[in-house]
Amino acid sequence: MFELLKKLFGIGPSVNFTELVSNGAQIIDVRTKGEYASGHIKGSVNIPLQELSQNLKKIKKDKPVITCCASGMRSSSAKSILAGQGYTVYNGGGWTSLQGKL
């Protein structure tokens, strides 16, 4: 059961998000446009989760992707969607927490 939860929520060895970003990783914020407008990570791209599948062309496949949202739930779903499409993707969790790791 714990292994399933780890896989679903992207829990595992710690990820160096600063290094990923310095190597060109894209930060995709999957919150709503209104949530994003109220604050976000500089340089992130807002693609609401419900619009993600229709906007894959906006995300480069040759660069890693870091997903974020408000708490980590939607970014976990986004990670699954993107991984299923062949992207290298990491769940950054809540955007404010991720911002503190950059």
pLDDT at 15 over 90: no
pLDDT at 10: 54
Instruction: Name the pTM for this structure.
Output: 0.86
State the chain's mean pLDDT as an integer: 90
pLDDT at 81 over 70: yes
Query: In the chain, where are the structural domains located?
Result: 18-101
> What does the alpha-carbon distance between residue 53 and residue 102 come to, in Å, rounded to a whole number?
27
pLDDT in tens, 43-54: 999 999 999 999
3-state secondary structure of 27: strand
Q: Which of 6, 52, 50 is nearest to 28 (CA)?
A: 52
Q: Which of 40, 11, 38 is nearest to 27 (CA)?
A: 40
Q: Which of 48, 28, 33 is nearest to 91 (CA)?
A: 28
Count of C-beta atoms within a 10 Å radius of residue 46: 16
Q: Pick one of 3.40.50.1820, 2.40.160.20, 3.40.605.10, 3.40.250.10 as the CATH number of 18-101.
A: 3.40.250.10
Find all residues with CB under 8 Å of 80, minimum gap 6, and list them: 8
